[in-house]
Amino acid sequence: MITANLSLTDATTRIDGPLLFAHRRVDVGLNEAVEVTGSDGHPRLGRIAALDDELMTVEILESTSGLGLRGTRIRFFGEPISFSLGPGILGRVFDGVGRVIDGGPPIATRSRMPVDGAVLNPIRRKKPEDFIETGVSTIDVLNSLVRGQKLPIFSGGGLPHNRLAIEIALHARLRAGQETTETQSPFAIVFAGIGVPFETAEFFRRSLEESGALGRTALFLNLASDSSTQRLLAPRFALTAAEYLAFVEGRHVLVIITDFTNYCEALREVSASHGEIPGRKGYPGYMYSDLATLYERAGSLQGKPGTLTQLPILTMPSDDISHPIPDLTGYITEGQITLNRSLDREGIYPPVGVLPSLSRLMKDGIGPGFTHPDHPALANQLYASYARATQVRLLANVVGSDGLTPDDRRMLTFGQQFEQRFIRQEKARSLEESMNEGWSLLRQLPIGELSRLNDQQIDTYIHGSD
């Protein structure tokens, strides 16, 4: 059967939106990649979306303007859309469909991997439990990140999510003494910008360059000016590269993808152009499953040295966490770091909204044998107290602080101090520094408020170190 590198000219019968219909004169399979070249000579990536006895439907993943029924050549690859990868991808810049755009030589291919990836067998997954110190107190103490986790940043327009992401990427490390031969594999960053403005892309590139980390980074840029169908492929190419680095080369890979909101907008646009029935707010009904095929590519495998950790960024439309994009994301990812606009207005950096943030895998990476035996209790107590302080603040807004009991007034002060001393930080803190700051805040509370701590912890940290 001849399928590879076969091409077909003048077989096109209809072009409708992103779809191109052609006579099925060659033997092709569903989902296989094609390249459609118009009389303008510009090649466009596409895939086979449907087949019947006479016709094939090609979904073109780039702009169709300039294509005609005559003079359009379709080249068949005989395999699903794939990415040629090799050791040289670090330090390079690619566009959203994996073409080198930094002017350098092409990548020497070592393996070719389909960009849709394959499903990680759940029983072959390794349970993620290597604590990563990020230097951010609200993450390290309260919402710890572990290797192999997918922890998105829920942000809003104008909030400093890019700065936070890059600081985490550059600071992320295992704690001293935790390194074993197994965890010592080299580290790499894969950065994917989906529909980002040029300035944002440039900010990331410059920050990585200045810190000297560009050499171990692969950059994938789909700029805001690129086609929106290509936006759907950019994270897939980036994650395929990350999987190559993690599972073929055995590196610890941190993937930063920004901004997933642009991805979902593109998904909506493409779905509408296919005439599909829209779901909530016009997004397609399969958005959950589609996002899952991307987020679920984080993880690590038993008996393999590499890990793939995802730090996706999304901006919540009008800061609404119940919008379908953050909502569906939160159902898939292992927690979320939420940025808060009012903290940002008060000049607190990093403006992490503590209460709606969560790390689901935290329990596996902290406590005895991982960080510190009293870490879980401390996190728990800080959460309980800060939640109570927030409640008291609400009350104080209505009745004024005069209507409060003395205990409530103390909680109010605790809340302010927590934001000013714990959330706000001038520079990266070690886990120990972060924990000490937490204990010192709890010391100002009456013992009756500390029901999440046991007597020994109260003796050691609350009474002990004045």
Check binding of 101 to another protein (CB under 8 A). Answer: no
Residue pair 461/440 in contact by the 8 Å Cβ criterion: no
Q: Does 57 bind another protein (CB under 8 A)?
A: yes
Q: Is residue 6 part of the contact set for another protein (CB under 8 A)?
A: no
Determine the interface stretch with another protein among 60-68, 104-112, 196-204, 404-412 (rule: CB under 8 A): 404-412
The Cα 275–Cα 260 span in angstroms is 23
Question: For another protein, which stretch binds (CB under 8 A), given 45-53, 88-96, 219-227, 256-264?
Answer: 45-53
Map residue 169 onto helix, strand or coil.
Answer: helix
User: Which residues touch 411 (CB under 8 Å, ≥6 apart)?
Assistant: 385, 388, 389, 392, 445, 449
| Segment interacting with another protein (CB under 8 A) among 10-18, 101-109, 125-133, 250-258 | 125-133
**Binding status of residue 30 toward another protein by CB under 8 A:** yes
Q: Which two tokens stand for residue 245?
A: 């680095």
Rounded CA-CA distance 170/164 in Å is 10
Q: Where are the beta strands (DSSP E) in 224-297?
A: 252-258
Q: Which of 182, 399, 427, 466 binds another protein (CB under 8 A)?
A: 399
Assess 27 for contact with another protein (CB under 8 A).
Answer: yes
* 49: its two tokens: 């979306």
User: Distance from first CA to last CA of the chain, Å, rounded?
Assistant: 81
The interface region with another protein, picked from 5-13, 49-57, 260-268, 435-443 by CB under 8 A, is 49-57
What residues are paired with 32 via a beta bridge? Answer: 80
Q: Which is nearer to another protein, 149 or 261 (CB)?
A: 149
Give the pairing of strands 153-155 and 307-315.
parallel
Residues between 339 and 358 that touch another protein (CB under 8 A)? 355-356, 358
**Least spacing, CB of residue 278 vs another protein, in Å:** 8
Q: How far is the CB of 155 from another protein (least distance, A)?
A: 17
* Residue 31 lies near another protein (rule: CB under 8 A): yes
Binding residues with another protein: total (CB under 8 A): 87
Angstrom distance (rounded) from CA 243 to CA 385: 41
Alpha helices in 340-429 (DSSP H): 341-345, 362-365, 375-399, 406-417
Work out whether 403 is an interface residue with another protein (CB under 8 A). Answer: yes
**Residue 460, helix vs strand vs coil:** helix
- Name the residue nearer to another protein (CB basis): 98 or 376: 376
Q: Are strands 187-196 and 153-155 parallel, antiparallel or unpaired?
A: unpaired
Binding another protein (rule: CB under 8 A), the pick from 331, 368, 443, 464 is 331
Q: Please tell me whether residue 319 binds another protein under the rule CB under 8 A.
A: no
123 is an interface residue for another protein by CB under 8 A: yes
Q: 324-332 and 287-295 are packed helices; what angle lies between their axes, rounded to 10 degrees?
A: 50
- Residue 369 within binding range of another protein, rule CB under 8 A: no
Helix axes 431-442, 375-399, angle to 10 degrees: 50
From candidates 301, 430, 436, 440, binder to another protein by CB under 8 A: 301
Is 383 an interacting residue with respect to another protein (CB under 8 A)? yes
| Cβ nearer to another protein, comparing 100 with 292 | 292
Q: Which residue has the tokens 């006579």?
A: 23
- The piece of 162-170, 185-193, 344-352, 379-387 that touches another protein (CB under 8 A) is 379-387
At residue 252's C-alpha, the angle toward residues 312 and 242, to 5°, is 55
Interface pick for another protein out of 178, 273, 380, 440 (rule CB under 8 A): 380
Any contact of residue 235 with another protein (CB under 8 A)? no
CB of 382 to another protein, least distance (A): 9
CA 307 to chain centre: 15
165: contact with another protein by CB under 8 A:
no
- Smallest distance, Å, CB 107 to another protein? 23
Touching another protein, residues 194-223 (CB under 8 A): none
Q: What are phi and psi of 250, to 5 degrees?
A: 75, 35
CA–CA separation, 19 and 46 (whole Å): 9
Q: Minimum CB separation from another protein for residue 355, in Å?
A: 4
Cis peptide before 259 (omega within 30 of 0): yes
- If the CB atoms of residues 4 and 119 are measured against another protein, the closer one turns out to be 119
Q: Contact region for another protein (CB under 8 A) — 62-70, 123-131, 207-215, 216-224?
A: 123-131
